[in-house]
Amino acid sequence: MAKIIPFKAVRPVADKVALVTCKTYDTYSSAELASWLDYNPYSFLHVIHPAYANAQKITLDKRFRGVALKYQDFKQEKILFSEEDPVFYLYEIQAKGQTFTGIIAGTSVEDYQNNVIKKHEDTLQYRVELFKDYLHQTHFNTEPVLITYPDSVEINTFISLRKNSEAIYEFSTTNKEKHTLWKIDTQSEIDFLQEHFEKIPNLYIADGHHRSASAELLYQQDKHLGNKNLNYFMSFLIAESNIKIYEFNRLIRDLNGLTKDEFLKKLSEHFKIEDKDQELWKPQNKYEFGMYLDGSFYALFYQFNDKNENGILDNLDAQILYDKVLHPLLGIEDLRNDERIDYIPGKQSILVIKELIDEGEFEVGFMLYPSDIKEIKTLADNNLIMPPKSTYIEPKFRSGLVVYEL
């Protein structure tokens, strides 16, 4: 049984919402960050990344205090305001022909601890500790955990009907996305959602494993303070049929001392190889891999007859590529930290991979077929962890739209 709660959010005043909200700051280039900070005084980037020009010269502790102070400035200047009562929100993102719609709510740290909220990715302890310290010092979070749940006819119907009501926000952004936010504040609606989510046995983290782990660590550290907001963390709950899962493609800087012919020969031990020359070929099915090497595209078809009898993790395409190619042939052991490997989200054109290799920065690239939600849930249900950078999942939430205070 999954528990969700409404909460007293902080959000932008309506006339400034399009100016305040922003993408996560690490998705901006240095030039983009500088431009937004120079020309938009309302951008939430001023809050989450204060003292941008001196960021490398100050301690993390001082930077976090700066975030907290700037956040209070935005509230005092009435750029942000607090809801009077706890509410849920219905949030919709329209982007490039896709529409994502879900519920913004507080989800339970206890559910996370008890595996009612399930995980499929590993976390890095230093990142968990870092974000925990950030939350401890700033006392707010504006990046919800993206959580998916099995489709519910009742919840889907509620969402569809609720979208016919008047929104509190409706705005577009410079990356050509349209954002709409509705407030769910009547007791009957709140009760309805809580009752129906209680019927769902498990929720699944799609994106935000570090954020949820940090929330749990903060709860353990500060629960003695009696702050009930620590018992929950903000989440964007979206039906599993409504998320978009992309692969992460791999770029490798060298062939680990192998010649092209030697590498292809070793690959042929596990894969049927088809030379596609200049055809921009991408995998069409599971157990298929694309490769770009020395000016040509290749199709790689995994050739083991016992593949369906292997373990769940062994059947994962990202794991197959690591077990059969990246580790034994190319000498990549640590997928997170090896400087010889880099990653490109599957939503980007494979021409990006071609260009980076043609320019000489990398020597070979691999394109994967994206995992599906069934595969992710099966891994999570069996307490298994995907290899790093296995999935890139949308939608992505805008910072500064809804703030959960701690």
Number of compact structural domains in the chain: 2
Average pLDDT over residues 10-32: 91
Does the structure show a pLDDT above 80 at 255? yes
Q: What's the confidence (pLDDT) of residue 310? A: 60
Residue whose token pair is 């599993």: 240
Distance of alpha carbon 66 from alpha carbon 88, whole angstroms: 29
Cβ atoms < 10 Å from Cβ of 148: 24
Which residues have a Cβ under 8 Å from the Cβ of 206 and sit 6 or more positions away?
A: 146, 147, 148, 238, 243, 376, 393
User: Given this model, what pLDDT does residue 34 score?
Assistant: 85
Is there a single domain that holds both residue 211 and residue 265? Answer: no
Q: What is the pLDDT of residue 307?
A: 56
Residues 90 and 139 in one domain: yes
Q: Let me know whether 279 and 194 are in one domain.
A: no
Mean pLDDT across the stretch 16-24?
A: 94
pTM equals: 0.93
CB 143 within 8 A of CB 397: yes
Give the pairing type, strands 98-108 and 10-12: unpaired
Same-domain status, 215 and 142:
yes
112 and 43 inside one domain: yes
Whether pLDDT at 28 is above 90: no
Res 306 pLDDT > 90? no
Beta strands 391-394 and 244-252 are antiparallel
Element (H, E) at 106: strand 98-108
Please tell me whether residues 148 and 31 are part of one structural domain: yes
Between 278 and 34, residue with greater pLDDT: 278
Domain around 27:
4-244+394-405
Tracing tokens 């929100």 back to the chain, one arrives at 89
CA distance 400 to 178: 16
Q: Are residues 87 and 109 in the same domain?
A: yes
**Does one domain contain both 254 and 204?**
no
| pLDDT above 90 for 138 | yes
Q: Give yes or no: residues 18 and 163 share one domain.
A: yes
CB within 8 Å of 64: residues ≥ 6 apart: 133, 134, 137, 138
Number of residues that this document lists for the chain:
406
CA dist., res. 140 & res. 147, Å (int):
19
Residue type, 235: S
Interval 188-213 mean pLDDT = 97
For residue 6, is the peptide bond before it cis, meaning its omega torsion is within 30 degrees of 0? no
Cα distance between the two ends of the chain: 24
d(CA 72, CA 47): 9
67 and 121 part of one domain: yes
| CATH assignment at residue 273 | 3.30.1760.10
Return d(Cα 50, Cα 65) in angstroms, integer.
10
Strand partners, 399: 22
- Beta strand spans in 197-350 (E): 203-207, 232-239, 244-252, 271-277, 288-293, 296-302, 341-345
Same structural domain, 131 and 202:
yes
CA distance 255 to 340: 10
Q: How confident is the model at residue 344 (pLDDT cuts 50, 70, 90)?
A: very high
Higher pLDDT among residues 54 and 256, named by residue: 256
Closest CA to 89 of 16, 149, 144: 144
Cβ contact 4:193 at 8 Å: yes
Looking at residue 51, what is its pLDDT? 65
What pLDDT digit, counting tens, does each position of 36-94 carry?
Answer: 888 999 999 999 987 665 556 778 888 899 999 999 999 999 999 999 999 999 999 99
The reply to whether 231 and 335 lie within a common domain is: no
Cβ neighbours of residue 106 under 8 Å, at least 6 residues apart? Answer: 4, 5, 6, 7, 229, 232, 233, 234, 235, 404
Three-state secondary-structure class, residue 224: helix
Average pLDDT of 237-248? Answer: 96
Looking only at Cα atoms, what is the longest distance across the chain?
68
Instruction: Write down the pLDDT at residue 332.
Output: 96
Q: What is the mean pLDDT of residues 213-226?
A: 94
Q: Say which range, 207-211, 302-306, 340-344, has the weakest mean pLDDT.
A: 302-306
**Residue 66, pLDDT score:** 92
